Amino acid sequence: MAKRDVREPFIPERDKGLTPTIECIGLGIDFGGLTAVDDFNFTLGRTEIAGLIGPNGAGKTTVFNLLTKVYQPSRGRMLLLGKDTKGMTTAEANCAGIARTFQNIRLFKDLTVLENVLIGLHNEIRYTMFEAVFRLPRYWRAEKAARERALELLSIFNMQDMADDIAGSLPYGAQRRLEIVRALATNPTLLLLDEPAAGMNPAETAELMETIRRIRDMFKISILLIEHDMNLVMGICEGIAVLNYGRLIAKGTPEEIKSDPNVIEAYLGKKGC
Amino acid sequence: MKKNTVHIPMPIRYLINAAAIAAIYLIISALSSAGVITNYYTKILILICINIILAVSLNLVTGYLGQLPLGHAGFMAVGAYASGIFMRAVSGSMPTGLAVFLSLILAAIVAGIFGFIIGIPALRLKGDYLAIITLGFGEIIRVVLLNIDSVLGFNFTYGAASLKNIPKTTTFTLAFICVVVVCFLIHTMMKSRYGRAILSIRENEIASESCGIRTTYFKTMAFVVSAAFAGVAGSLYAGYLGILNPANFGFMKSIEILVMVVLGGMGSMIGSVVSAAVLSALPEVLRAFADYRMVAYSLLLILVMIFKPSGLMGTYDFSFTNLIGRLIGRISGKRTARKESAE
Ligand SMILES: Nc1ncnc2c1ncn2[C@@H]1O[C@H](COP(=O)(O)OP(=O)(O)OP(=O)(O)O)[C@@H](O)[C@H]1O
Ligand SMILES: [Mg+2]
């Protein structure tokens, strides 16, 4: 099998004709003297589920932070649906269609589950400050519709009965799922999941895998996930990119990645060492 | 708990709340026309109203937005002087009611503008830094009010000599209406997408930003609204005292308001209302110990921080209609329980 060039785009056949969701060209960022990510070339198809893997500290979360504009890149460009994202803020990147979850959960802990999702729906809810404080009909209508939408989104994970619970009081797995629901509420074209299965048991992970696939089919979006659980990654990702020390070392289908000597070396170390 | 609550539909909720507020007002005015509440107590009641507005408006930034500004008295001062100068200028040439209404609006606008000017740089900072920079701005406002006349030769604020002869237009009715309006506006704002955006910033700014919320915009908005309402309180204060001196709006006043908010429970509107009422009434009731007020405040604050760090009410927001709903729920719940056990 010929080895793929990590600089070449790799996307599923069915997405080839469409503008890719994101296109990173030579993306890189330095923190002081440390180059956390360098020469990151990556293309994601419109309905693709892709994985970003690599050993601890490889720079995976940093890539997410670059995509969501938490950091501005030191080098390179990033196109979202063909448009350059230079100078965007995190909020603007979200409005443009990038939603994410966090490696260390960042819920609005003291608010209810429903409120968490409603905050995700913030930009979908339309009324003015005036209509809100004087409680005009449009306020009631929009709030009612938002509430229904939020419950509908929660029902993807069967969480509608928890709507009035305080988010911080949920079990760990439910908090992770709520973060995904909140991200979906922002109506994204790209969903970034940072270690969604962390801390979940195998049964929960298997269920999560099914749900991720279902979300992609329901919303017709692309999903990029970081995950250390190889069963999950190999099970649902169509394309996988492997980072090591901030550089891409391999790209390809799960089968190609599994047998790639560079990847095996990055994960297990050189033979004999 | 949830299951035993009867949900009362919206228009009825409003009616119940309106009735409760009207009842409070009628009782107080009946008492004062019967002579039970003397003129002296009416004065205290007005002061309580002013402090309630200050506390609930600061709570917007401290409790809901989760920032710690220490310059609230500065915005009150701006509102008070704007309104005082306006009232002196128009007195006699305009019906009093209209003049008072305009002075309240003017005070809110001018204080809001100051909130905007100060908020833009201050809100780039967080925590202690924000506290210190707002403290500085508050002091700047006070010092400018004190010296602007003597330095620039205006007859504007009259500095340390005090701005005198402001028409005393603040009645209990006016102060009460302002409290109701301010509480209503803050309440309805907090129950909308705007309020949720503000809360989300307190909860987790990074997550908030990643949900598409322009955090800088909403922080500034909360800060401006808070300053504008402090201006309203200042306007009432000007019409209550009839004389303004920059010394009334020092750093200690900001601290006093903050103590009210923290004691009541940050993020609890009813907490702010109750603790503002109690803390404004206490020194008047305990006149003899007035000198020890700040000592008492500090002790109280320390005790609350030790025994109930979230404040007396925590983030609990009292809802009269929910209380009624729960009562009804409990009564009918008992009835169904009895029926079930009978079957
Ligand atoms: N803001 C920052 N300032 C300085 N260094 C940073 C910053 N963010 C990340 N780094 C560094 O960049 C490198 C990559 O970190 P990153 O969090 O992206 O790793 P990761 O692949 O997500 O690892 P893990 O699997 O442990 O989550 C690390 O060496 C980290 O210390
Ligand atoms: Mg990481």
B152 or B31: which leads in pLDDT: B31
Which residues does residue A23 pair with via DSSP β-bridges, in sequence order?
A: A43, A79
Q: What pLDDT band is residue B343 in, cutting at 50, 70 and 90?
A: very low
Model confidence at A123: pLDDT above 50: yes
Q: Is A55 helix (H, G, I), strand (E, B) or coil?
A: coil
| Least confident among A155-169, A221-235, B144-158, B164-178 | B144-158
* Res. B319 pLDDT band, cuts 50 70 90: low
- Per DSSP, the three-state class of A200 is coil
Q: State the Cα–Cα distance between residues B44 and B29, nearest whole angstrom.
A: 14
Letter string b/e over residues B61-87, b meaning 16 or more CB atoms within 10 A of that residue's CB: bbbbbbbbbbbbbbbbbbbbbbbbbbb
Q: Which residue has the tokens 């005036």?
A: A130
In this structure, is the dihedral angle defined by the CA atoms of residues B183, B186, B192 and B195, taken in order, positive or negative? negative
Residue B267 clears pLDDT 60, i.e. is over it: yes
> Is B302 part of any domain?
no
Question: Which of A108, A109, A113 is best to mutate for the B interface (most B CBs within 10 A)?
Answer: A108
pLDDT of residue B140: 94
Answer yes or no: do A186 and B2 touch at CB < 8 A: no
Angle among Cα A121, A126, A130 to the nearest 5 degrees reads: 125
User: Is A222 an 8 Å CB contact of chain B?
Assistant: no
| Strand partners for A250 | A242
- pLDDT band for B342, please (50, 70, 90 cuts): very low
Average pLDDT of the residues in A6-27: 86
Give, using CA atoms, the residue closest to atom 16 of ligand 1: A59
A256 C-alpha to center of ligand 2: Å? 24
CB A43 near ligand 1, within 6 Å: no
As residues whose CB is below 5 A from the ion ligand 2, the structure lists A 61, 103
Residue B150's pLDDT band (cuts 50, 70, 90): confident
> Which residue's alpha carbon is nearest to atom 30 within ligand 1?
A57
* pLDDT 10s digits, A62-72: 999 999 999 99
Indicate whether B310 belongs to any domain. no
Q: Is residue B331 domain-resident? A: no
Q: Express each pLDDT in A34-92 by its tens digit.
A: 999 999 999 999 999 999 999 999 999 999 999 999 999 999 999 999 999 999 999 99
pLDDT value for B2 = 46
The radius of gyration computed from the CA coordinates of chain B, to the nearest angstrom, equals: 22
Cα angle for residues A117, A121, A122 (degrees, 5° grid): 115
Q: Is it the case that residue A30 has pLDDT exceeding 70?
A: yes
- Mean pLDDT score of chain A, rounded to an integer? 92
pLDDT for res B318: 64
Asked whether residue B318 is assigned to any structural domain, the reply reads no
- Residue of chain A with shortest Cα separation from B202: A108
Q: What is the mean pLDDT of residues B239-268?
A: 91
Contact between residue A183 and residue A106 where contact means Cβ atoms under 8 Å apart: no
In B107-144, which positions are buried (b, 16+ CB within 10 angstroms) versus exposed (e)? Answer: bbebbbbbbeebbeebbeeeeeebbebbbbbbbebbeb
For chain B, the residues whose C-beta falls within 8 A of a C-beta of chain A are 2, 10, 185, 188-189, 192-194, 196-197, 199-200, 203-204, 206-215, 315
Residue B3 falls inside a structural domain: no
Give residue A263's pLDDT band: very low, low, confident or very high (50, 70, 90): confident
The domain total for chain B is: 1
pLDDT at residue A258 tops 80: yes
Of B68-72, B142-146, B161-165, B250-254, the one with minimum mean pLDDT is B161-165
Supply the pLDDT for residue B335. Answer: 57
Region of poorest pLDDT, from A159-173, A185-199, A246-260, B28-42:
B28-42
Q: What's the rounded Cα separation, in Å, for the pair B218 and B89?
A: 36
How many CB atoms sit inside 10 A of residue A186's CB? 23
Is residue B154 very low, low, confident or very high in pLDDT (cuts 50, 70, 90)?
A: confident
pLDDT value of residue B202: 95
Q: How far is the CA of A103 from the centre of ligand 2 (A)?
A: 6
Residue A246 CA: nearest ligand 1 atom is 14
Asked, for residue B56, whether it belongs to a domain, the answer is: yes
| Residue B120 scores a pLDDT above 70 | yes
pLDDT: which is higher, B309 or B14: B14
Hey, CA dihedral for A76, A78, A82, A83, is it positive or negative?
negative
Which residue in chain A is spatially nearest to B206 when comparing CA positions? A106
User: Per-residue confidence at B126, pLDDT binned at 50, 70, 90?
Assistant: confident
What is residue B133's predicted lDDT score, i.e. its pLDDT?
Answer: 92
Using the atom order of ligand 1, give the atom closest to the CA of residue A243. Answer: 21
Is residue B314 within 8 A of residue B268, CB to CB? The reply is yes
Q: Which residue of A has its CA nearest to B187?
A: A133
Dist CA B293 CA A94 (whole Å): 50
Are A196 and A102 in contact by the 8 Å Cβ rule? The answer is no
Contact between chains at B194 and A90 (C-beta distance less than 8 A): no
User: In whole angstroms, what is the distance from residue A45 CA to residue A190 CA?
Assistant: 10
User: What pLDDT is stored for residue B78 in this prediction?
Assistant: 96
Q: Are A123 and A95 in contact (CB under 8 A)?
A: yes
Segment B210-229 mean pLDDT = 96
Average pLDDT score, chain B:
87
- Give the pLDDT band (50/70/90) at residue A1: very low
Best of A106, A121, A124 to mutate (most B CBs within 10 Å, chain B):
A106
C-alpha distances in Å from residue A203, one per residue of A174, A200, A234, B194, B223: 14, 8, 16, 39, 47
pLDDT at B321 over 90: no
Mean pLDDT of B81-107: 93
Q: Which of A147-161, B144-158, B187-201 is predicted with the least confidence, judged by mean pLDDT?
A: B144-158
What is the length of chain A? Answer: 273
What strands lie across the sheet with A239-244, from one edge to the other? A98-100, A190-194, A222-226, A49-53, A239-244, A247-252
Q: Which residue has the tokens 């785009």?
A: A9
> What is the residue type of B257?
I
User: Looking at the complex, does the CB of residue A120 fall below 8 Å from at least one CB of chain B?
Assistant: yes
Considering the domain boundaries, does residue B294 fall inside one?
A: no
Closest-CA residue of B relative to A114 is B196
Q: Residue B48: is its pLDDT beyond 60?
A: yes
Q: Is residue A222 within a helix (H) or strand (E), and if so which, with residue range?
A: strand A222-226
Is the model's pLDDT at B164 over the cut of 90? Answer: no
Name the band, by pLDDT with cuts 50, 70 and 90, for residue B201. very high
- Domain hosting residue B49, numbered range: 38-250
pLDDT at position A17: 83
Does any domain span residue B313? no
- Position B336 confidence tier, pLDDT thresholds 50, 70, 90: low
